[in-house]
Structure 1
């Protein structure tokens, strides 16, 4: 994996573009090239290239509304004398921080370091926050579990019409924003399984609700996957000694209903299902200590069901 610091991208891609944008704006406000060079800390020859449009630059920054607004604000301030170098620097540093927070600098960083994609990286914003490691682990586990499902024989026939999702919660999760899942859900298309995006926190309401209900009874259970309810899979679960738990599809508060059913069982089952209701497709939840545990169990259930 190539190691690229975000600061390198700021120096190599952001700063030349912003200097060129500033030079053009200051020239429009009547500053001479010598005055512009003094304000920007570059040579007059560099300013000449900036103003003539020969310097290039990155269109990601040229087209970014925050960058355009900041450049115009600095140009107005420097041209009018209402802003000095310290003020301009403060504006630029604030802009850089915002662009590193899922903005163009972050996008460039993920292009230069593809291993960062799908990790929800926010090191630039949060630094070495101890929670980051846990979040990365959860995102990576959900991503692995989704790929496992896509490669599982027979899985394509177990994806409900509404789609399947893979979810996993952070330790001590409080709400659905602490549960990572696949945005848009996983669908079967043309006999293949399509995973539309990398996992994100807060991407699923239904699977997150099931995981949070399970975690309220047993904090060790942090993963779940929904599949279509199928008698052969339920029989396979019973043959494995898992004793699937049936719950009602027709309820107002799904989380409360599931917690009640789990409490009545005295434990969180590995498999819980309902048979549907008017306008509600039958669904089965497979639980695990993690998302990949749940994916592995689905593979075992499908193997047994197809045997």
Structure 2
């Protein structure tokens, strides 16, 4: 694990880029290189490199609209005398706080520390928060579940054309933003399972509605995945003592419909399916206490089906 503070990224990536941007804009506004050096607290030689374009920089900041607007505002203020170094510093500190909240600094931080991915840099923005631990655990579980799913022999045959997904809700989940899943869904390509990204909260409405409906009836059920409906898979579930529950495919509010079916059924089945409708592929949901348990259940059913 690489331990990187966001302050390091500010010094190594943000500050050199912003200095170069400011030097160029102040030069365009008629300031001499020595005047620019005095304003920025650097040497005249450094300003010369900035103005000539030799300093490099990070395009993620250089092309970021909020960064561009802030630099232009500071350059206008310094050149016109309406702003001093204190004002410029205040502007930059405000910009840095903004860029740490799901901005380029957050993006760089996730690249340097993959453990942060999917957390939206909540650690930096909110500080130590007990809820973050629960979020991390859910994201890690979904990530493991997705990788396990991809390793199941013959799994590609059970991926619907629109893709599949695996999701897991936080404790006391209320809406789709409390359910983590794979952005863009999981697809089968040339017999391989493709996982396009790391899990994120609010990434899948399809699997989230099923998880939320199940969790409302049974708070112990927080994980689910969807696959293509297959009669052999359903029969394997019956033989395992998991009687599948059929529900309608053609409905406007999936969560409300599933919630009603689960309540009428008396409990949340571990397997629920529909046969499809016009423009809707037949789908089967596998439920579990966690996303990993749902995937493990599917793997067990597919293995017994293959015997």
Q: Any conservation in 2 of the 1:22–1:71 contact (CA below 8 Å)?
A: yes
Q: Give the Å deviation of 1:198.
A: 1.5
Q: Give the Å deviation of 1:56.
A: 2.4
**Aligned position for 2:43:** 43
Q: What is the count of residue pairs matched by the alignment?
A: 307
Q: Any conservation in 2 of the 1:182–1:200 contact (CA below 8 Å)?
A: yes
**Aligned position for 2:144:** 144
Distance 1:161 1:50, change over 3 A: closer
Q: How does 1:103-182 map to 2 (within 5 A)?
A: 103-182=103-182
Bigger drift between 50-59 and 135-144 goes to: 50-59
Q: Give the Å deviation of 1:38.
A: 2.0
**Aligned position for 1:97:** 97
Q: Secondary structure at the match of 1:293?
A: helix
Q: Secondary structure at the match of 1:193?
A: strand
Q: Give the Å deviation of 1:246.
A: 1.4
Q: Distance in 2 between matches of 1:56 and 1:278?
A: 55
Q: Any conservation in 2 of the 1:26–1:75 contact (CA below 8 Å)?
A: yes
Distance 1:278 1:25, change over 3 A: closer
Q: Distance in 2 between matches of 1:250 and 1:76?
A: 59
Q: Give the Å deviation of 1:189.
A: 1.3
| TM, length-normalised to structure 1 | 0.95
Q: Give the Å deviation of 1:119.
A: 4.5
Q: Any conservation in 2 of the 1:276–1:283 contact (CA below 8 Å)?
A: yes
Bigger drift between 40-49 and 187-196 goes to: 40-49
**Aligned position for 2:222:** 222
Bigger drift between 255-264 and 107-116 goes to: 107-116
| TM, length-normalised to structure 2 | 0.95
**Aligned position for 2:3:** 3
Q: Give the Å deviation of 1:190.
A: 0.9
**Aligned position for 1:258:** 258
Q: Which sections of structure 2, spanning at least 5 residues, go unmatched?
A: none
**Aligned position for 1:246:** 246
* Cα RMSD, aligned residues only: 1.5
Q: How does 1:155-304 map to 2 (within 5 A)?
A: 155-304=155-304
Q: Distance in 2 between matches of 1:34 and 1:60?
A: 28
Q: Deviations over 1:121-174 (max 9, x none)?
A: 332222222211111111111111111110011211111122111111111111
Q: Distance in 1 between matches of 2:217 and 2:65?
A: 47
Q: Distance in 1 between matches of 2:278 and 2:107?
A: 44
Q: Deviations over 1:61-102 (max 9, x none)?
A: 222222121111101001111111121111101111122222
